[in-house]
Amino acid sequence: MNEEIWFEEPLLPPEAMVEETAKGLEKLAARDERRLAEEQSLDLAALQRAEDKAAAIRRYIEERARGILRVHYPRYRRLTPEEAAHLQTTPSGLPPGALAQGKLYLVRLGIEFDVLPEERKAGWAYTEAWCRAYLFSPGSSAQPRLLDLYPQRLYEGGPTTVRVEAGLGLKAGIVETQLGKLSADLHVGQVTPVTLGFFGEEERAPYWELRAKEKPILGVYHFWMIVEQPPGCGPVRLAVLGEGNLQARLFSIPVGPKERAWEKRESILLAG
């Protein structure tokens, strides 16, 4: 596995959606079986030979309708006093001076949305995807919180390489860089419209919503946040998950991790 990858996991459809999608394809097969040939990753000849076509279609959905999520090791550094002094007010309404009471960190997340090789060749991709994170300090009297995140609202343009800096909030500008430097520099990464960012519950469960525009959602995307470790907050840990709506030629189906409960997911130490 690539040394940049923290973990990889399959994204699976809910059982109820497998049933619903299979029934839809069964009805299509009953009307016009040849239309199923539009789904290029489906072996139509094998389906026609199957004694139980309904079971064969369901098995196809179970085996092929799945995504792949790869989460990169997060990159982070502590903000300088000068950077901390210029941070703007957060959604909590605290004045800028109150933001420097704890340690502040700039964090970059990297996440890859992928599909199985055969499905990629058949044109499968995500029409919507979500990157979700959770910041917590086990057993602490105070918990970490977000002061800013990027992207928050990207609507225009195309997939772009940007450089993000901390100052008066997180600001980004378009840059040109070699692909290898994307993993090495926490300030540089790939973003795409349409992306909306949210601080989440208690300002420590951020998530980003990606919607396909001119190009499908596939590949690596980066997200940044400024995290405060306030007084009384012990070591900060980070957990991440991804999910999306997978679009084939004949159907769309939601896919996500088998385990969604944060307390049961793998986490990584972000700040001691």
Domains: count for the chain: 1
Residue 54 phi, psi (nearest 5): -60, -45
Model confidence at 32, in pLDDT bands (50, 70, 90)? Answer: confident
Per the domain annotation, does 25 fall within a domain? no
Q: Are the CB atoms for 133 and 206 separated by under 8 Å? A: yes
Per the domain annotation, does 194 fall within a domain? yes
Q: What is the mean pLDDT of residues 140-147?
A: 93
Residues β-bridged to residue 128? 211, 245
Mean pLDDT is highest, among 23-27, 132-136, 178-182, for: 132-136
Per the domain annotation, does 142 fall within a domain? yes
195 sits in the region (left: phi over 0; alpha: psi -120 to 50; else beta) called: beta
Three-state secondary-structure class, residue 141: coil
Q: Domain limits at 189?
A: 5-10+65-271
Q: How many CB atoms lie within 10 A of CB 46?
A: 10
pLDDT for position 81: 80
CATH number of the domain encompassing residue 215: 2.60.40
pLDDT for position 194: 94
Three-state secondary-structure class, residue 129: strand
pLDDT in tens, 34-91: 787 777 677 778 878 888 888 888 888 988 899 999 999 999 999 988 787 777 655 5
Q: What is the mean pLDDT of residues 13-17?
A: 94
Cα–Cα distance measured from residue 68 to residue 254, given in angstroms and rounded to the nearest whole number:
13
pLDDT in tens, 166-204: 876 788 888 876 555 556 788 889 898 899 999 999 999
The pair of structure tokens assigned to 236 is 């900060």
Per the domain annotation, does 239 fall within a domain? yes
pLDDT mean across residues, the chain: 88
Per the domain annotation, does 18 fall within a domain? no
pLDDT for position 206: 98
Model confidence at 96, in pLDDT bands (50, 70, 90)? Answer: very low
pLDDT for position 5: 95
From 66-70, 177-181, 230-234, 242-246, the region with the lowest mean pLDDT: 177-181
Per the domain annotation, does 229 fall within a domain? yes
The pair of structure tokens assigned to 186 is 């926490």
Per the domain annotation, does 29 fall within a domain? no
Per the domain annotation, does 36 fall within a domain? no
114 sits in the region (left: phi over 0; alpha: psi -120 to 50; else beta) called: beta
Cα–Cα distance measured from residue 180 to residue 252, given in angstroms and rounded to the nearest whole number:
34
Cα–Cα distance measured from residue 6 to residue 3, given in angstroms and rounded to the nearest whole number:
8
pLDDT for position 183: 61
pLDDT for position 88: 60
pLDDT for position 238: 98
pLDDT for position 97: 46
Model confidence at 209, in pLDDT bands (50, 70, 90)? Answer: very high
pLDDT for position 112: 96
